[in-house]
Every structure is written in structure tokens, then in C-alpha cells.
């Protein structure tokens, strides 16, 4: 349930108990005793944060979505909810990845418009950019060719979300904007071995490998390159975007290009921090997916030059510490 202080404005975070929703919740709690130069302390005094999950409301259902939004009266929505998963889930369930996400996004934007929210910030992903493209990717490249075939259904659903947001701006002047984070990792992720994204899957596999004295098997060659953003860094940037981003075009939220690393480097860092480096095996029988999707953060840093990204080794250390502590109760 959620508690409403009628003296404050309401902010709904869809997907509120997922990876990024939990990170936003943690940052809001940190504002009680920490200061960030780009986030106002007034967030705590002026707003109620409603962390919406699927048990509270089925966003695939228009009537239920409209009822929840009407009763909670949000002024703002941070839209994170989605049917998400790693490479192999995308390849196995393209129908669900397309249909579920289109339904969720359509209902959130339509109901948000109908009740008159001030701003909706919706989360996309760099995986939706064209496969054949000149790097680094920037915001103007979003629709310049088809995405990689390994996740085309999810990618097109997210591209449509950008178009949906644009149509509400064009026709109704609604302040519906989109952000494009790179690969996200951090605490409170989904560690299911079949459906997880690459980092939680690697952490869980490394843990089981060490526990059972078996090979630490990494699916694929380990050669693909990725920019990984720590979930709490992304949470800060989303809160900043909600109140400070005045442009109507998408905004890439990404660490620096030189911080891009290979899946092999990720696996080795995880193995090192979990003391399990002796029996690593890369299984090239599995697909690597898209080789790279390097994104430029030039636009972001022009707007927020003082922002400092968490080093990958530091972020993954915190992630693994949390994983070990919370293993019995993880989403797995």
C-alpha cells in the first residue's frame, strides 16, 4: 500500500520495486542525510513517492490503470515498468516482449494524459538503436535502421514508446519525455538464470559454480562490449531529468565511452571479487547478441557536467556484497 500526505504532490514510479525503482527509493532515503548538488532537498518535503508494482495494479489492463491513477492523483510519473529480460528471454518470447510492453506503455501514457499529469519520464534502452550504425550512437540515431534481430520485439516496443510520447506532445502539448540508459546493473535485480540480464546472471552463475565446485560457464565468447551504468547513478539522473530536462527529444544516460568493457572483463571481475577465478569457461555455442552499442553521453554532460559515475569495480563490489547478503530472498 502507499501513504499519501495530501499537502504534497504525488509521483508514481511504475516498476517501483524493480532494479531502478528500488534505487530511486534508496536515493530518496539518502537525501535525508546526504546532499547532491543536482538534486533538491525539497523532494522530501514537497512530494509523495508511490512505488507501484504489478501486485498493486496490472498496467496491461486499461481500466485498472485508470482507476489507480485516478485515485492516487499523480502530478508526475516515472515510467519504468516493462516486461524485460536478458538476451535469451528476448529470443525465446518475442510475442510477449512486444505485446506486453506496448499494452503497458499505451495504458500509462493514455491514463496519464487523461488525468492531466504534468510530466511523464519513460525509460527506453540503448538496445533499441539500429544494429548497423556508426559509433558512438547519439539521440538522433534512434530510428535510423532496424535493431539487432536478437531483441527486435522488445526494441520496437520501446521505439514505439518514444513515438507515443512524441504524439502526445505534438497533439496535446503533454510533457512526455524519454530517457535512454545503457545496460543497468545493481542491487535488487532479477537473478533468474533463464531470464536475467547479463550481470545478475553472471553473478548467480559464479555463486553456484563456487558453491558446487563446478565450472563457471559464460554463455557466448565474452567478446561483446557494453557500457554499464550503476542503478543508483541512473536513479539520480532520472530524478534530475524529471524536474530539469526541458528538451523534447530523448536523452541518453550513459557513462563515458572509454568505460565500455567486454563481457569477458565483466565475468573476470565478478569471478575475482567472488574468489572463483580457477575454472572459467566461455561457451561459444551460445549467441553473443549485438557486438556493441556504444552510446555518447555528450548531450547529458553538456547539461550536467558535474555528474560523476560510479566506477564499475566499485559498483559491482556493492552489487555482489548485497547479493551474498540477500541470497535466500532474491528474485531467482
Q: Which residues are catalytically annotated?
A: 154
CA distances from 292 to 3, 71, 134, 137, 179 (A): 43, 44, 11, 10, 19
Q: Which of 155, 189, 163, 161 is nearest to 79 (CA)?
A: 161
Give me the DSSP letters along 187-254. Answer: TT-B--TTT--HHHHHHHHHHHHHHHT--EEEES-S--EE-EEEHHHHHHHHHHHHHH---SS-EEE-
Q: Which of 108, 95, 97 is nearest to 64 (CA)?
A: 108
DSSP state of 327: G
DSSP state of 127: G
Distance of alpha carbon 60 from alpha carbon 25, whole angstroms: 24
Amino acid at each position: 500500500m502507499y501513504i499519501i500526505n495530501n499537502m504534497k504532490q504525488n509521483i508514481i514510479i511504475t516498476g517501483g520495486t524493480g532494479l531502478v525503482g528500488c534505487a530511486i527509493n534508496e536515493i530518496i532515503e539518502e537525501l535525508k542525510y546526504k546532499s547532491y548538488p543536482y538534486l533538491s532537498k525539497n523532494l522530501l518535503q514537497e512530494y509523495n513517492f508511490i512505488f507501484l508494482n504489478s501486485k498493486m495494479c496490472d498496467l496491461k489492463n486499461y481500466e485498472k490503470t485508470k482507476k489507480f491513477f485516478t485515485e492516487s492523483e499523480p502530478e508526475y510519473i516515472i515510467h519504468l515498468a516493462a516486461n524485460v529480460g536478458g538476451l535469451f528471454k528476448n529470443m525465446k518470447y518475442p510475442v510477449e516482449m512486444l505485446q506486453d510492453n506496448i499494452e503497458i506503455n499505451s495504458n500509462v501514457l493514455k491514463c496519464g494524459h487523461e488525468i492531466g499529469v504534468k510530466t511523464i519520464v519513460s525509460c527506453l534502452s540503448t538496445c533499441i538503436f539500429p544494429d548497423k550504425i556508426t559509433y558512438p550512437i547519439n539521440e538522433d540515431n534512434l530510428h535510423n535502421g532496424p535493431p539487432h534481430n536478437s531483441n527486435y520485439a522488445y526494441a520496437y516496443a520501446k521505439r514505439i514508446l518514444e513515438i507515443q510520447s512524441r504524439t502526445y506532445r505534438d497533439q496535446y502539448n503533454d510533457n512526455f519525455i524519454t530517457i535512454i540508459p545503457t545496460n543497468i546493473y545493481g542491487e535488487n535485480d532479477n537473478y533468474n538464470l533463464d531470464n536475467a540480464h547479463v550481470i545478475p546472471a553472471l553473478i548467480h552463475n559464479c555463486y553456484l559454480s563456487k558453491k558446487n565446485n563446478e565450472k563457471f560457464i559464460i554463455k557466448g565468447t565474452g567478446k561483446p562490449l557494453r557500457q554499464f551504468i550503476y542503478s543508483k547513478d541512473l536513479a539520480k539522473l532520472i530524478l534530475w531529468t524529471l524536474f530539469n530536462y526541458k528538451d523534447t527529444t530523448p536523452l541518453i544516460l550513459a557513462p563515458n565511452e572509454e568505460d565500455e568493457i567486454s563481457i569477458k572483463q565483466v565475468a573476470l571481475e565478478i569471478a575475482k571479487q567472488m574468489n572463483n577465478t580457477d575454472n572459467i569457461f566461455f561457451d561459444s555455442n551460445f549467441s553473443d547478441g549485438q557486438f556493441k552499442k556504444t552510446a555518447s553521453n555528450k548531450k547529458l554532460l553538456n547539461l550536467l557536467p558535474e555528474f560523476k559515475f560510479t566506477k564499475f569495480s566499485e559498483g559491482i563490489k556493492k552489487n555482489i556484497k548485497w547479493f551474498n547478503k540477500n541470497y535466500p530472498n532474491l528474485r531467482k
